[in-house]
Amino acid sequence: MTSGIAHEIMLAFADRTGLTSSQHPPVRYLWTDAFAVCNFLGHFVEHGDPESLQLALRLVDQTHHTLGRHRPDDPRSGWISGLSDTEGEAHPTRGGLRIGKPLPERSAGEAVDLAREWDRDGQYFHYLTRWMHALHRVTQVSGDATYQRWACELAQAACAGFIAGTAAGPRRLFWKMSIDLSRPQVASTGQHDPLDGFITCCALQASTRGERGTDLSRELRELAMLCQGRSWDTDDALGIGGLLCDALRLAQLAWDGFWHEARLLEALLRSSLRGLEALTVHRAFEGTAERRLAFRELGLCIGLHAVGRISPVGIDGEDARALLRDLARHRPLTAHIERFWLEPLRREGRTWCDHRDINDVMLATSLAPGGYLGARPA
């Protein structure tokens, strides 16, 4: 039943954002589209529906041709990588991908206005890692290694553009870059960005087919260094969900025999549990819809679905297994949050409608998480 609801939500999203309807111009947003690609893939895998696979592939193509190229209101034109039209078609992620924000990016000499910056275009590292994951899932489902190569090229471009350092200070990963990756727009570092990048690149490296240009050894070394000594603790629902998804991917890498790091997995589980307990104490999921952000809560739900896919049999250490059991006790929260946001009246309110596309897609992912999270262990 929930899979059917999720697919209905996704078909409406496809029509509304110009993927399937010529009556609506394409409206692409990288984070939302990454989850949407995975949702269409999941429906194809679960139901054998070829149209869903075609929707996923069409969305990848439209996203590349929209967010991999300069904005219509930008004096620049063509691929943001600077490649020719022919080369850009073959390597659409070589210059990264725009966020898809409504306003043009801040110009080089313009003063920073952090409130306005939220609506300005540019590139986010954590959005790029989500798109890498989506491309990786396309190759896993379709068997076409082209998407895997594009994911690796995106990883290379992202690390080259976002990671910087000077003789006076250590290497760092900027939170937001300009569209052409030439300058930082927000110089701080996202708390989990190095971790997301490291685990995503591990997954890509594990499944590379030896094609030229797909080696990510250098990127992995840089990201591993950036992860050293960091705390992953957060009380942000979306951040906790991301940690739990990362924990699942670590477990999947271990099951596949590629990479095993029990201490990092335990650290992610421990930080997630602390964050969940803090949210529970503060009764974060008991307020009215007007005081809550659905997509952040639904990101947590997706992470709690990930917990259910981590087999204790494959986890080293009693502490890690105990953490997994404690996290599993919070899984009923998923149904509570999903029921809350499935109520039609709550999806007519301002906080839902202001973020309709991302809310709809994250709800669909939570209701049918297999496309995003991948297959359960055998």
Q: What does the block give as tokens for 1?
A: 């039943």
Q: What is the pLDDT of residue 100?
A: 98
Q: How far apart are CA 318 and CA 197, in angstroms?
A: 28
Q: How far apart are CA 177 and CA 197, in angstroms?
A: 16
Question: Looking at the domain assignment, is residue 237 inside a domain?
Answer: no
Query: Is it the case that residue 1 has pLDDT exceeding 90?
Result: no
Question: Looking at the domain assignment, is residue 301 inside a domain?
Answer: yes
Q: pLDDT tens digits for 73-87?
A: 999 999 999 999 999
| pLDDT band at residue 375 under the 50/70/90 scheme | confident
Question: Looking at the domain assignment, is residue 283 inside a domain?
Answer: yes
Q: pLDDT tens digits for 356-365?
A: 999 999 999 9
Query: Is it the case that residue 232 has pLDDT exceeding 60?
Result: yes
Question: Looking at the domain assignment, is residue 96 inside a domain?
Answer: no
Question: Looking at the domain assignment, is residue 378 inside a domain?
Answer: yes
Q: What is the pLDDT of residue 209?
A: 65
Q: pLDDT tens digits for 305-322?
A: 999 999 887 787 899 999
| pLDDT band at residue 168 under the 50/70/90 scheme | low
H helical segments located in the chain: 2-16, 30-47, 50-67, 85-90, 114-117, 125-142, 145-162, 193-207, 217-227, 237-255, 262-281, 294-307, 318-328, 332-342, 350-353, 356-367, 370-373
Nearest by Cα to 315 from 263, 243, 378: 263
Q: Which residues contact 35 (CB under 8 A, 6 or more apart)?
A: 130, 134, 361, 362, 364, 365, 372
Measured in degrees and rounded to the nearest 5, phi and psi for residue 191 equal -55, -45
Q: What does the block give as tokens for 263?
A: 């201490």
Q: How would you classify the pairing of strands 176-177 and 123-124?
A: antiparallel
Query: Is it the case that residue 350 has pLDDT exceeding 70?
Result: yes
Q: How far apart are CA 84 and CA 82, in angstroms?
A: 7
- Maximum pairwise Cα distance, the chain: 59
**Three-state DSSP class for residue 69:** strand
Q: What is the pLDDT of residue 210?
A: 66
Q: pLDDT tens digits for 77-114?
A: 999 999 999 999 999 999 999 999 999 999 998 988 98
Q: How far apart are CA 335 and CA 348, in angstroms?
A: 20
| pLDDT band at residue 211 under the 50/70/90 scheme | confident
What mean pLDDT is reported for the chain?
A: 94
Q: What is the pLDDT of residue 315?
A: 80
Which has the minimum average pLDDT: 6-10, 59-63, 175-179, 260-264?
260-264
Question: Looking at the domain assignment, is residue 221 inside a domain?
Answer: no
| pLDDT band at residue 175 under the 50/70/90 scheme | very high
Q: What is the pLDDT of residue 3?
A: 85
pTM value surpassing 0.85: yes
Nearest by Cα to 235 from 291, 306, 283, 172: 283
Question: Looking at the domain assignment, is residue 340 inside a domain?
Answer: yes
Percent of the chain exceeding pLDDT 70 equals 97
Q: What is the pLDDT of residue 167?
A: 54
Q: How far apart are CA 220 and CA 130, in angstroms?
A: 17
Q: What is the pLDDT of residue 108?
A: 92
Q: What is the pLDDT of residue 112?
A: 87
Query: Is it the case that residue 260 has pLDDT exceeding 90?
Result: no
Q: pLDDT tens digits for 233-245?
A: 999 999 999 999 9
Q: How far apart are CA 226 and CA 170, in angstroms?
A: 9
Query: Is it the case that residue 143 has pLDDT exceeding 80?
Result: yes
The boundaries of the domain holding residue 352 are 250-378
Q: What is the pLDDT of residue 58?
A: 98
Mean pLDDT along residues 292-313: 95
Query: Is it the case that residue 256 has pLDDT exceeding 90?
Result: no
CB 39 within 8 A of CB 368: yes
Counted domains in the chain: 1
Mean pLDDT along residues 260-269: 90
Question: Looking at the domain assignment, is residue 164 inside a domain?
Answer: no
C-alpha angle 114-119-120 in degrees, rounded to nearest 5: 85
